Amino acid sequence: MIGAAITFGAQDGLSRLLAEGHGPITVIAIRYWFFALFVLGFAATRPGGIRRVAHSKRPWLQTARGVLLVTEILTAVYGFTVIGLVGFQVIFASYPLMIAALSVPFLGERVGWRRWLAISAGFGGVALALDPRGSPFGPQMIIPLIGAVQFAAYGIMTRIAARHDSADTSFFWTGMVGAVAITLITPLAWSPPQGSDWVWMALLCLSGVGGHFLMIKALEQAEASVLQPFAYFGIATSGAIGFVVFDDAVTAAMLTGGAIIVGAGLFTFWRERVQSRRGTAPD
């Protein structure tokens, strides 16, 4: 899982590099086309083949999930080019807290007072990191907040889909619906890579496939709730690339707020794990 997270973090850096020259739509389209081939190949190797894996009990929900993820990735890659990887990831790290909060009304889950305090502290960290008076980005910092909300909604929809379809089916629909959705809007802003850009594009596609392969292997060994906290390694990798490679601006408020957000998220994961093992009322 750590390997998958770091690989996805590197993918963010490649996405920004390419999007600055060709725009987010072109980069994401090529990335999704390659990913769709991987998804088809993966489904063909599963028991029952593509036909079984593709069968969903909630096709409209799966379609909505796939479209939502594409829009979130568009938001993210656009945000990378506008405010950089560091600024984006600091705020985006709040999405687990949003999932925890949204799980109450949409999933019927119960969140105890300790986790509500952590969620509140995390959102306080978001407010600090946004730093409206001292931020070098200004109103543009709303972009990662929108991305976090989109990804949190995607996470909630994924949990609902898991009640009806297998993980293989959700994985299949994510890739295929996303590829179709991005293809429909690609003519609006198509800017084909030239020369050496194709090398970077190939690395981007391979990093996406490699990250998903590592994640699949991780999920074969442990539950998603155990692995999820390690996703922060990807956020850290992405931010480090932004700082070292792209010379992204970093402020004390961003770092402090980001530390609070990550700490609150890790505490929330830990409390959820403790309660699931105990089987007791949430606290």
Report the half-sphere exposure of 281 (CA within 13 A, side-chain side): 1
Q: Which residues of the chain have pLDDT under 70?
A: 132-137, 278-283
Alpha-carbon distances of 280 from 41, 83, 225, 241, rounded to whole Å = 42, 43, 17, 42
Instruction: Look at residue 136 in the predicted model and tell me its pLDDT.
Output: 62
What are the DSSP calls for the chain, one per residue? -HHHHHHHHHHHHHHHHHHHHH-HHHHHHHHHHHHHHHHHHHHHHSTTHHHHHH--S-HHHHHHHHHHHHHHHHHHHHHHHHHHHHHHHHHHTTHHHHHHHHHHHHH-----HHHHHHHHHHHHHHHHHH-TTT-SSGGGGHHHHHHHHHHHHHHHHHHHHHTTS-HHHHHHHHHHHHHHHHHHHGGGS-----TTHHHHHHHHHHHHHHHHHHHHHHHHHS-HHHHGGGGHHHHHHHHHHHHHTS-----HHHHHHHHHHHHHHHHHHHHHHHHHHHT----
Instruction: Look at residue 149 in the predicted model and tell me its pLDDT.
Output: 96
Instruction: Look at residue 56 in the predicted model and tell me its pLDDT.
Output: 96
The answer to whether the pTM exceeds 0.85 is yes
Instruction: Look at residue 218 in the predicted model and tell me its pLDDT.
Output: 87
